[in-house]
Amino acid sequence: MGFLDYFRQPDLLVNLSPDDFERMMKEEGTKPIDVRTQMEYRHGHIEGVELHPLASMKELVPKLDKNSHYLLVCATGHRSRAASAMLIRNGVTKVSHLEGGMRAWRGSSKPVVAEK
């Protein structure tokens, strides 16, 4: 993963608003993934979104179903963009991310689950 992956929009990546992300999470065949750190995740995440930190994506990618649609989220959109670039380079063609990340999600007053 290169530095520019955090800022460059991959061709196949679809940007989603919080409303679109929430709607798509309910669709069959979608797999939402949070790529933040465990500490960030514990302080507030979207219900039903699995944690797979960006640092662990290299190990996760070979296990992914390339026919699924992955919905990625991070704090601001940079790490999810970088993770999407990695997925796309490895043959996953259906990748979307929450544009603006959890900052946008919270800004839209969407529900957040926090762990104690």
The mean pLDDT of 39-59, rounded to a whole number, is 95
Higher pLDDT, residue 4 or 101:
101
Looking at the domain assignment, is residue 63 inside a domain? yes
Specify the pLDDT at position 115: 82
Looking at the domain assignment, is residue 114 inside a domain? no
With cut-offs at 50, 70 and 90, classify the pLDDT of residue 5. low
Looking at the domain assignment, is residue 69 inside a domain? yes
Looking at the domain assignment, is residue 115 inside a domain? no
Residue 2 makes CB contacts below 8 A (sequence gap 6+) with none
Cα–Cα distance measured from residue 102 to residue 108, given in angstroms and rounded to the nearest whole number: 10
Residue 57 reports pLDDT greater than 60: yes
**For 10-38, what is each residue's pLDDT tens digit?**
689 999 999 999 999 999 999 999 999 99
Looking at the domain assignment, is residue 113 inside a domain? no
Number of separate domains in the chain: 1
Residue 26 makes CB contacts below 8 A (sequence gap 6+) with none
- Read off the pTM: 0.91
Residue 4 reports pLDDT greater than 60: no
The CATH number that applies at residue 29 is 3.40.250.10
The mean pLDDT of 64-84, rounded to a whole number, is 95
Cα–Cα distance measured from residue 40 to residue 43, given in angstroms and rounded to the nearest whole number: 5
- Classified as helix, coil or strand, 109 is coil
Looking at the domain assignment, is residue 65 inside a domain? yes
Look up the domain containing 85 and give its range.
Answer: 3-107
